[in-house]
Structure 1
Amino acid sequence: MTSTTPTRTDVLIVGAGPTGMLLAGDLATAGVSVTVLERRPEGTSNLSRAFGVHARTLEQLDARGLADDLVATGHPLNALRLFRHLSLDLSRLPSRFPYLLITPQYEVERILQRRAREAGVRFEYGAEVTALRQDQDGVVMDTRTADGTVTAHHAAYVVGTDGHRSAVRSALGLPFPGQAVIKSIVLADVRLSEKPDGLLTVNGTGDAFAFIAPFGDGWYRIMGWDRLSQRPDTDPLDLDEVRDLTRRALGTDYGMYEARWLSRFHSDERQAPAYRVGRVFLAGDAAHVHSPAGGQGMNTGLQDAANLGWKLAAVLRHHADDTLLDTYQSERHPVGRLVLRSSGGIIRLAMAHNPLQRTARDLFARAVARISPLNRKAMGVITGIGISYAADRGAHPLTGKRAPDVRLADGSRLYEALRTGRFVLITPAGPDTPDAPTASDPRVIRTAWTGDRRTTLLVRPDGHIAWASERPDPAGLGKALARWAGPAA
């Protein structure tokens, strides 16, 4: 066993999945030095479970200039049918992306990795975390490679984005309480002789459930569950079993004839009690895992990263108070809990098998389908569009809410302005707009509404509203900037 010279970086990210790479790209673009450690060998895996990107995630990617490239790799799905009586019309979403984008996770990883590398992120593959220690000045993390080489990595902050078996979480001694919600799910990427009628084919009959989604390159993702065959993850899976399950659930196997990937897994519902321990953070599956219902897993992790990245940059680059980082826990932990409840509710309703449970499910589905506020709430949670953060008592009602991608006076869009990674101040149009404490602040882009709207908004780099006012309030704006961005240079 040999040791190498210790490395030093501002932020050390453990895990090169989508969450880690979005965070790494954000930090490096903001001028923060970043090293990403990955236990796996180099090379993006295409054996991924996620295949859907929701509207809010596409908005976050749009704020980084990446959404259009990703949209070109997939197929938009304009409606989600969760049960026989419940269909969510995504085309009504108040977003530039009123759909679920069906595209494999490896396409998301590809564009995020490209951005991170172009921004100067350093990657180390084949590095397994063996120890972690921290004090008030920083964190030291030890890693070991396959040949036994040990390296001590020094960083101001560490973020664990290393999945549900997170070595970072284990090194912190954090529990991961929860339970298995489905004990045996079948996954396969296959070719079909017959093309399914819809973009997303879903059905359940008796004890079998299955759905099919296209990747767009001739391959299809199959996910299925058999109540009568709850087998360990380690049991082998063959194409015949997938065919049989698909026929029972969907009435046909669509001429399934080839598989490039076959796997079993179990689905847990778990959440770490803390997303921050001193100078160490958890994000994505390292912080929370839940059922695949609603396709919220990867999306929630990416939105964790979007929340944390600009805050770390503000502390490291602009001397914002370290307490700003506590808002990552206070904002994202409730979101993780909400996703656990919503996805868990969907999967339990889908698994209903006795007549009483199915009747209750149908009544619930009809209510959500027919009552507009319930329908909007369901779409907002599943797609992320409706996620808001708690605001202080007495704050403007818009504070903490997602900012829509509005048109600005110069003809551009808000999410184009957010591509700089800075705060965006939107003021009423007109030459008589009062001066505010942002005229020479490099952290803020100042722009104006189209039309005669009089509200002033300060939009955070993650697209949520930091502060709002219906009247000129330079003092209030100054306090908001000091809180969220640190002292002016």
Structure 2
Amino acid sequence: MADILIVGAGPVGLTMAAELARYGIGVRLVDRSPHATETSKALAVWSRTLELMDRAGCTPAFLDAGLRVDGASIRSGGTVLGNPRFGDIPSTYNFVLMIPQRETERLLAAHLRSFGVAAEREVELTGFTEAADHVEARLRHADGREETVRTPWLIGCDGAHSTVRHGLGVAFRGVAQGDDWLLADIRLEGAGAPPRDEIASYLHRDGPFVIFPIPGGRARVIASRGRTDPDHPRPEPTLGDVQALIDARAGGGFQAADPVWLTNFRINERKVAAYSRGRVFLAGDAAHIHSPAGGQGMNTGMQDAFNLAWKLALVARGRAGAALLGSYSPERSAVGDAVLRNAARMTDLGTLSNPVAQAARNLAMRFLLGLHTVRDAVATQMSEVEIAYAGSPLSRGPHAGARWDPAHDAGPPPGAGSEPRFLLYAADAERGAALAARFPALLERAPRTPPEASALVVVRPDGYVGLSARGPAWHEAAGYLEALAAAPA
């Protein structure tokens, strides 16, 4: 079988390649850039992403390199509007891990190399042609050499300006937010600086100002700066600009120093309608981009990769029918829609310009964030542990599509190791073993004990409930697995 071709060696492409390689699938990972990301870019790795990394065995390296942040603060002037904490997130990883994207890429590249695979740099996809049973892709190397490769599937993880997406000719619908934003990676000095274990947001009449702690004693600052004439772009920010924002919006009391990255950016909110067509898939920024509010962009893209990789592995090995791949787009597109809505809502709230609307927002936030249930809901949403696939073609029965609580697992999590198998949870171990023997390519050999004796649950390799039933629903379970194992379309 020819290698699966992945275009784009950022966090999403590296995750995709590593997951496929872990499952024994041949991959080629190409990127037109001569080197990996050298700036911090995306910073946050949330709880659900860390849980999924557990399956791959690479979470410890991230925990060693990152900074654990336990909560957030939201202020307006001298008033604290709320202090959401992450300690009640229902996960072993009840925090957000702050780690610069360059470190994320370094760790993922090392993880990928452990499977004998490395990204091929300065190799550009110039075009491709789809056929019924393969994709023919054209590559250009740094020395000008042209190469044509035949791949069973092509995966575009090549960012907002995706060549794969352009080659498909699909629309990237959305809008560009009009404000300029400042980004600065700096050191903060002085007694008034916010604690290193929280994300500090300051809501101001002129726009939001947010501080994210970074490992190594640094911090990321972002702030809106209003609109400028597109024909007269704003000059790159200076350290003095950052200090002026600290004094005006955060009340001063601390100083900006030692900048390593100062830039302006604008927020785009765009998404494709479908994440796949035929044998071509899109993941990460190639499929969806949105406001950095909530820090969910990279996490959503990496979870695209976790979702698709086990499905491709089963189909590539002939253990599941090709129809399984049809679940990728509806599942992840629905998640992309939700992340886009939530990030846009957070940005809109932060950038309200009408003084009356600002006052009403602050009053409402102070009241709502005083409620424990609301604080928990905010943290859970940001952590992405609430993501579910209730409407998926793979979900059957009550609670199907929900995340399977890792606390239910006495053994390795679903999808761990080199085989992407489903797990069966059933009280009747004998009948469970008989079902597993009937579907050895799909089910783990030994059934596990369900949290409730009357439950029969089939859990997917990515840790979501596929089938949920009560009582001796063996016929339903067999039918579910038969549908998955159907002959390739």
2:9 matches 1:11? no
> What's the offset of the Cα at 1:418?
3.1
User: Structure 2: where are the runs of 5+ without partners?
Assistant: none
Contact 2:398-2:469 at 8 Å conserved across structures:
no
Contact 2:185-2:262 at 8 Å conserved across structures:
yes
Q: Counterpart of 2:219?
A: 220
* Pairing of 1:77-476 with structure 2 (within 5 A): 77-81=69-73, 84-194=80-190, 196-199=193-196, 200-227=199-226, 235-252=235-252, 254-362=254-362, 364-366=364-366, 368-369=368-369, 375-391=375-391, 395-408=396-409, 411-412=410-411, 414=413, 418-429=416-427, 434-439=432-437, 441-445=440-444, 446-449=446-449, 453-476=453-476
Please say which of residues 177-186 and 437-446 is displaced more in the overlay: 437-446
> What's the offset of the Cα at 1:125?
0.8
Distance 1:182 1:81, change over 3 A: farther
> What's the offset of the Cα at 1:364?
4.4
Distance 1:429 1:420, change over 3 A: farther
> What's the offset of the Cα at 1:270?
0.3
> What's the offset of the Cα at 1:405?
0.4
Q: Counterpart of 1:3?
A: none
> What's the offset of the Cα at 1:450?
7.2
Distance 1:439 1:399, change over 3 A: same
> How far apart, CA to CA, are the structure 2 residues paired with 1:233 and 1:87?
36
Distance 1:323 1:389, change over 3 A: same
> How far apart, CA to CA, are the structure 2 residues paired with 1:387 and 1:211?
26
SS in 2 for 1:88: coil
Please say which of residues 428-437 and 306-315 is displaced more in the overlay: 428-437
SS in 1 for 2:369: helix
User: Structure 1: where are the runs of 5+ without partners?
Assistant: 1-7
Contact 1:406-1:414 at 8 Å conserved across structures:
no
> How far apart, CA to CA, are the structure 1 residues paired with 2:167 and 2:273?
15
> How far apart, CA to CA, are the structure 2 residues paired with 1:369 and 1:117?
45
Distance 1:470 1:270, change over 3 A: same
Identity across aligned pairs (percent)?
Answer: 31
- AA aligned to 1:224 is A
Contact 1:14-1:160 at 8 Å conserved across structures:
yes
Distance 1:451 1:387, change over 3 A: closer
Cα-to-partner distance string for 1:225-255 (whole Å, 9 max, x where unaligned): 2226677778433322222223322233733
Contact 1:368-1:374 at 8 Å conserved across structures:
yes
Structure-1-length-normalised TM-score: 0.89
SS in 2 for 1:192: strand
Contact 2:6-2:17 at 8 Å conserved across structures:
yes
Structure-2-length-normalised TM-score: 0.89
> What's the offset of the Cα at 1:260?
1.7
CA RMSD between the two structures: 2.7
- AA aligned to 1:126 is E
- AA aligned to 1:78 is D
> How far apart, CA to CA, are the structure 2 residues paired with 1:459 and 1:148?
48
Contact 1:162-1:285 at 8 Å conserved across structures:
yes
Please say which of residues 309-318 and 284-293 is displaced more in the overlay: 309-318
Distance 1:111 1:403, change over 3 A: same
Residue 19 (structure 2) aligned to one of 26, 42, 55: 26
Contact 1:208-1:245 at 8 Å conserved across structures:
no
SS in 2 for 1:91: coil
> How far apart, CA to CA, are the structure 2 residues paired with 1:316 and 1:437?
23
- AA aligned to 1:268 is N
> How far apart, CA to CA, are the structure 1 residues paired with 2:139 and 2:390?
38
SS in 2 for 1:444: coil
> What's the offset of the Cα at 1:420?
4.4
> How far apart, CA to CA, are the structure 1 residues paired with 2:63 and 2:115?
22
- AA aligned to 1:438 is A
> How far apart, CA to CA, are the structure 2 residues paired with 1:373 and 1:205?
26
Contact 2:47-2:385 at 8 Å conserved across structures:
yes
- AA aligned to 2:195 is G
> How far apart, CA to CA, are the structure 1 residues paired with 2:318 and 2:190?
57
> How far apart, CA to CA, are the structure 2 residues paired with 1:127 and 1:392?
36
- AA aligned to 1:217 is G
Contact 1:406-1:413 at 8 Å conserved across structures:
no
Contact 2:5-2:151 at 8 Å conserved across structures:
yes
> How far apart, CA to CA, are the structure 2 residues paired with 1:439 and 1:324?
21
Contact 1:436-1:477 at 8 Å conserved across structures:
no
Contact 1:407-1:414 at 8 Å conserved across structures:
no
> How far apart, CA to CA, are the structure 2 residues paired with 1:341 and 1:233?
28
Distance 1:424 1:147, change over 3 A: closer
SS in 2 for 1:170: helix
Distance 1:396 1:430, change over 3 A: closer
Distance 1:412 1:252, change over 3 A: same
Please say which of residues 395-404 and 75-84 is displaced more in the overlay: 75-84
> How far apart, CA to CA, are the structure 1 residues paired with 2:82 and 2:398?
31
> What's the offset of the Cα at 1:392?
7.0
> How far apart, CA to CA, are the structure 2 residues paired with 1:471 and 1:367?
45
> What's the offset of the Cα at 1:79?
2.0
Distance 1:97 1:125, change over 3 A: same
> How far apart, CA to CA, are the structure 1 residues paired with 2:336 and 2:392?
21
Contact 2:179-2:226 at 8 Å conserved across structures:
no
> What's the offset of the Cα at 1:421?
4.4
Please say which of residues 18-27 and 138-147 is displaced more in the overlay: 138-147
> What's the offset of the Cα at 1:318?
2.4
> How far apart, CA to CA, are the structure 1 residues paired with 2:255 and 2:430?
68
> How far apart, CA to CA, are the structure 1 residues paired with 2:132 and 2:430?
48
- AA aligned to 1:202 is S
Q: Counterpart of 1:4?
A: none
> What's the offset of the Cα at 1:122?
4.5
> How far apart, CA to CA, are the structure 2 residues paired with 1:370 and 1:218?
30
Distance 1:155 1:450, change over 3 A: closer
- AA aligned to 1:27 is L
2:55 matches 1:63? yes
- AA aligned to 2:63 is V
> How far apart, CA to CA, are the structure 1 residues paired with 2:54 and 2:425?
22
Between Structure 1 and Structure 2, how many residues are aligned? 477
Contact 2:455-2:470 at 8 Å conserved across structures:
yes
